[in-house]
């Protein structure tokens, strides 16, 4: 698939993504071993998303650590534009955000820009996005965030707090700029054109509220970078720190990494939802997970499988924390010792265990949802 | 000055305005005697702004009366984008709105789009517009609106209520549309591009809050029509009545009607502010009010003056309610019996009496300001 085009924008991800090219194209920096070491000095251990370069790039993370070392703590900002149920790919940046919150003992501002998908999808109503906001929020809470350190910003609900701040950003962004960054045409609606200003707000709102400049670190999937590229230019001009960020790769869809850029919640056969039951997960993986194995058992034993394109293996790089176990699986699959069916079973067990636990916590989350809201 | 170009947009008014041409260009309807009669059936008398065609055009006013006669009351919506102190020209549509409120016993929603001028003027801050909102509101209250029937909508303060509704409008307006209506370029900022959606909101917000369709009548100066032309296309699509409107001419600036389109608050020599004291008013009118008189008294007695271009006379058409008195002044000035100095004195006395009273009420307004706010 060399040379094949791929697309990564906040509204569309497709094709086989070349992350090295993205680093150059977006102008982010690769996370190198020196930076990993510096993080480890504070965290004691490294999250497997860092060890495996699933979080692979950043902007100004060294500055965030400089400030932290001077005693100037940052806060975290991430989010979810509600347009459907969450799939397990959505959890990736949030699991990492939770780890950062615990290790650095910092606040998280979690944005639900419930207007975004309404503005970009013809058939989605604000009633839909309100419903999904609540549904999606349960998964965030289920990951263990504490209400004392975590605030939910829901754009339409908290517009009283956010709109005024968004205006300060919006005044400094022209249509030319959003046109170039997002590929808008003159037929784009004026709400969608304005939207990026709302996405900028959480990166400095805590500084407004506490009336002092606080550094902000945004963990996010790489497709959101164009928003922050724009807002990083503007935010210092209105008197706040340029937000830093750390970017992750996409969890690929079940269909494989060659065709789909990331798991899509709207394509049911390629996604595992956080509420899928054991049977559904088992069926989906057995039926749809793209395999790097050979056509017959005999051939597989002889030639071995290819874990680098095998979705079950790729997903285990996200969900199996133990490096030793993962390495054994890699080697066994490559040598042909481990069959595709067996590899799928390992993933199925891992995921079902995780989801069973998650679904329990998700139920409990309903009781504490209100505690995360800004009144 | 025939054939000279004039410009009327929400952001700029200049040149000698041909109101007949505007009616055609904007697609509004002239208010004819039949419609005046129909209004009079309900109001008993006609406001001098109607008798003198200062309110000269409308959209769907017959429909508003149809509904009213069926028992389906409308509400009024007007506003002020705060960017400086009010001058007497600002009061014109509000005085008429007060009359409508009294005669039809209806609610008024008064918008202070405090972000508008912030977005359109480089050097205006949101702190400035906040200050001016309060200052401007005092004049609205001073005109006698009752808090039981009048609500102030301040965009940045009430965004919690408004932003969500603005999104429904914004989703249905493209950049092409605002580009054509307002003459925007690609260098326009994205806040300004979005703004028209916020101006649409008060025309259906009461319907949202009360959960039933309520007709809306918007009294406003003709330059704001492009906003409502756009929103009238959109609002029925989101389930509400198309707002009706009634348009007034501009109070000309002191310098005359040939050069300036309307009184400008930023040009101090052409405006009388609502807080100007007696001496200032006297000086400004004596010094700057464009005269339709002759160069010498002798000549004036012989040839007579021209009330049609004389600013003092023109202003009296706005502020002298008595038709008989006004007619005498017209005839006396035209015949040469009344000198320019005498005409100016009539205006000065009229205005100073009005302003003295207004300034007292303005002081009292400070005590009740809070009652008009939406909590």
Confidence tier at B286 by pLDDT (50, 70, 90)? very high
A167 to B193: CB separation less than 8 angstroms, yes or no:
no
Average pLDDT, chain B: 95
Q: Which helix (H) or strand (E) holds A98?
A: helix A88-104
pLDDT for residue A259:
60
User: What pLDDT, in 10s, does the model give residues B52-82?
Assistant: 999 999 999 999 999 999 999 999 999 999 9
Helices (H), B235-307: 278-288, 297-303
Q: Does A123 touch chain B (CB under 8 A)?
A: no
B168 to A126: CB separation less than 8 angstroms, yes or no:
yes
Distance CA B61, CA A40 (A): 71
- Record the tokens describing residue A246, joined without a space: 């750390």
Confidence tier at B12 by pLDDT (50, 70, 90)? confident
Q: Which helix (H) or strand (E) holds B9?
A: strand B7-9
A321 DSSP assignment: -
Q: Does A295 touch chain B (CB under 8 A)?
A: no
Low-confidence ranges of chain A (pLDDT < 70): 1-4, 258-261, 265-268
In the predicted structure, residue B1 carries a pLDDT above the cut 90: no
User: What pLDDT, in 10s, does the model give residues B184-203?
Assistant: 999 999 999 999 999 999 99
DSSP string across B11-67: TEEES---HHHHHHHHT-EE--HHHHHHHHHHHSS--HHHHTTSEEEEESHHHHHHH
Looking up tokens 């989101």, which residue turns up?
Answer: B238
Distance CA A225, CA A11 (A): 12
B173, B191, B196 member nearest A197 (Cβ): B191
- Record the tokens describing residue B12, joined without a space: 């700029």
pLDDT for residue B2:
39
- Record the tokens describing residue A346, joined without a space: 């390992």
Q: Which of B105, B46, B108, B123 is nearest to B77 (CA)?
A: B108
Chain A nearest C-alpha distance from B6 (Å): 28
Q: What value of ipTM does the predicted structure carry?
A: 0.94
Interface with chain A: mutation pick from B165, B166, B191, B237, highest number of A CBs within 10 Å = B191
User: What pLDDT, in 10s, does the model give residues B143-166?
Assistant: 999 999 999 999 999 999 999 999
User: What pLDDT, in 10s, does the model give residues A68-99?
Assistant: 999 999 999 999 999 999 999 999 999 999 99
Q: Does B171 touch chain A (CB under 8 A)?
A: yes
B174 to A186: CB separation less than 8 angstroms, yes or no:
yes
CA torsion sign for A172, A175, A181, A184 is positive
Domains of chain B: 7-249 (3.40.50.620), 268-363 (1.10.240.10)
- Name, in order, each residue with C-beta under 8 angstroms of A366's C-beta and a sequence gap of 6 or more: A138
User: What pLDDT, in 10s, does the model give residues B315-362?
Assistant: 999 999 999 999 999 999 999 999 999 999 999 999 999 999 999 999
List the 354-373 stretch of B: residues with Cβ below 8 A of A: none
pLDDT for residue A4:
63
Confidence tier at B4 by pLDDT (50, 70, 90)? low
């Amino acid at each position: 698939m060399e040379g094949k085009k791929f697309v990564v924008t906040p509204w569309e991800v497709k094709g086989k993504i070349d992350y090295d090219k993205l680093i150059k194209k977006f102008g982010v920096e690769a996370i190198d071993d020196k930076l990993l070491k510096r993080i480890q000095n504070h965290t004691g251990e490294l999250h497997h998303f860092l060890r495996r370069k699933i979080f692979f790039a950043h902007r100004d993370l060294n500055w965030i650590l400089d400030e932290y070392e001077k005693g100037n703590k940052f806060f975290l900002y991430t989010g979810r534009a509600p347009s459907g149920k969450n799939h397990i790919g959505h959890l990736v940046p949030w699991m990492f955000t939770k780890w950062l919150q615990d290790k650095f003992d910092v606040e998280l501002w979690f944005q639900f820009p419930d207007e975004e998908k309404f503005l970009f999808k013809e058939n989605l109503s604000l009633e839909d996005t309100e419903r999904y906001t609540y549904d999606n929020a349960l998964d965030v809470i289920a990951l263990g965030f504490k209400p004392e350190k975590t605030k939910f910003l829901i754009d339409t609900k908290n517009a009283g707090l956010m709109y005024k701040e968004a205006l300060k950003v919006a005044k400094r962004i022209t249509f030319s700029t959003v046109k170039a960054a997002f590929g808008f045409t003159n037929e784009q609606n004026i709400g969608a054109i304005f939207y990026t200003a709302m996405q900028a707000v959480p990166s400095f709102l805590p500084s407004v509220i506490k009336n002092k400049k606080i550094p902000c670190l945004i963990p996010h999937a790489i497709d959101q970078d164009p928003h922050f590229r724009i807002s990083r230019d503007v935010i210092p001009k209105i008197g706040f720190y340029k937000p830093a960020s750390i970017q992750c790769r996409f969890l690929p869809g079940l269909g494989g990494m060659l065709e789909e850029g990331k798991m899509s919640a709207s394509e049911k056969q390629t996604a595992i939802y956080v509420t899928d039951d054991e049977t559904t997960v088992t069926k989906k993986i057995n039926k749809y997970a793209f395999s790097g194995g050979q056509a017959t058992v005999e051939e597989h034993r002889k030639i071995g499988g290819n874990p680098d394109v095998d979705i079950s293996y790729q997903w285990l790089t996200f969900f199996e924390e133990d490096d030793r176990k993962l390495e054994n699986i890699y080697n066994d699959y490559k040598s042909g010792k481990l069959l595709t069916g067996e590899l799928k079973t390992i993933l199925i067990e891992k995921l079902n265990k995780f989801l069973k636990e998650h679904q329990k916590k998700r139920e409990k989350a309903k009781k504490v949802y209100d505690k995360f809201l800004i009144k």
